[in-house]
Amino acid sequence: MTALSRPRAEDAAAIHDLVAACDLAVLGRVDTPLDDIVDELAEPGFDLDRDGWLAHDADGRLVGWASAYAPGGDDLVQIDVYVRPGSESRADELWQLVLGRARELAAERGHDRATVDVGVHRADEAKRALAGRHGFGPGTTYHRMRIDHHGPVAPPAVPPGVTLHTGDADEVRRQAHQVHQDGFADHFGFVRVGYDDWYERRQARSTTDWSRLTLARIDGRPAGVVIGNDQFVPDEGCGYVATLAVLPEFRGRGLGRFLLLHAFAADAAAGRKGTILHVDSHNTTPALDLYLSAGMRPVMIIDVLRRHL
């Protein structure tokens, strides 16, 4: 790489142009809206001076963008490296930089090793080969699921004993956070975070709408939560289910299906063309079967590759 610099908020448009070029080369369409880049640069805990790099060619054109992010106090570090098509031979320096930063982030959190994850579109053979060359192997696979809404969707009947509460109230958000933490405790790559960090990260995102959080209580006890946001509105016109969790003791009662259908109805009522979510194909619950049986279909596959440093 000819020149390296640190990212700033004002670089979001240039980074988006680079990521869009990568999307087009692999997917045939742009899959990353500008707001995603803006939110990434503003993510609480992401240090612009230490966690990201921009690479420019001799003409000053942005040809590379790399980042490392530790979502909590665990040893997990999430990285990404984008290199403009035609400049792949210049990528190794960026990979080395983010791996070095991953080691530092884990050490800063008191760990003697780092668990490093990178997401790769199934169709992106070049990035997969680069990751393999840098020691990454299979971690898990996420399916992007979608259902289209053709007009209004009837809300599901609320099960007996269930009450619903939106995330506009602090008490509800705190209970939703706990359901999320406990419901996802055994999932691949999940890192527990305290309420303050959990709230701050969501509050900082432009796509967050707390009225799209629905906590389900059963006989007054927090049991499940669905959290929607507007991440896929700009490019797909769809609502997004960012989180769907049911506590283990309340599973097997149809609560997850109810919350999913509740989200469908809410998205349709808001004029969304459909609803999108991501599911780990190795989920510890039969979530993929649930989404398929509810009429969702897979539209994209993203593999998570992992390396231990």
pLDDT tier for residue 283 given thresholds of 50, 70 and 90: confident
91 pLDDT above the threshold of 60: yes
Q: Specify the 3-state DSSP secondary structure of 5.
A: strand
DSSP conformational letter for 248: G
Which residue, 135, 154, 181, sits at the end of a domain?
135
Report the helix count and the strand count for the chain, using DSSP H and E.
9, 12
Which tens digits make up the pLDDT trace of 222-244? 999 999 999 999 999 999 999 99
Contacts of 212 (CB under 8 A, 6+ apart): 167, 227, 228, 229, 239, 266
Buried b (16+ CB within 10 A) or exposed e, 109-147: eebeebbbbbbbbeebeebbebbeebebeebbebbbbbb
Which residue, 135, 155, 177, sits at the end of a domain?
135
275 pLDDT above the threshold of 80: yes
Which tens digits make up the pLDDT trace of 170-213? 999 999 999 999 999 988 889 999 999 999 999 999 999 999 99
Q: Specify the 3-state DSSP secondary structure of 303.
A: strand
| Percent of the chain whose pLDDT exceeds 70 | 99
pTM: 0.92
Same domain membership, residue 213 and residue 176: yes
Q: Provide the domain limits for residue 103.
A: 3-135
Q: Which two tokens stand for residue 115?
A: 């668990």
- pLDDT at 2 (0 to 100): 63
Per-residue three-class SS string for 208-243: CCHHHEEEEEECCEEEEEEEEECCCHHHHCEEEEEE
Task: Tell me which of 45-54, 188-197, 269-278 is least confident.
Answer: 188-197
Domain count, the chain: 2
Average pLDDT value over all residues in the chain: 95
- pLDDT at 89 (0 to 100): 78
The one-letter amino acid code at 225 reads V
pLDDT tier for residue 1 given thresholds of 50, 70 and 90: very low
- pLDDT at 90 (0 to 100): 78
**Residue 307 located in a structural domain:** no
Cβ distance 118 to 136 under 8 Å?
yes
- pLDDT at 260 (0 to 100): 98
Question: Per-residue pLDDT averaged across 63-70, rounded?
Answer: 97
**Residue that has been written with the tokens 């406990």 in this structure:** 182
Which residue, 98, 115, 135, sits at the end of a domain?
135
Same domain membership, residue 182 and residue 68: no
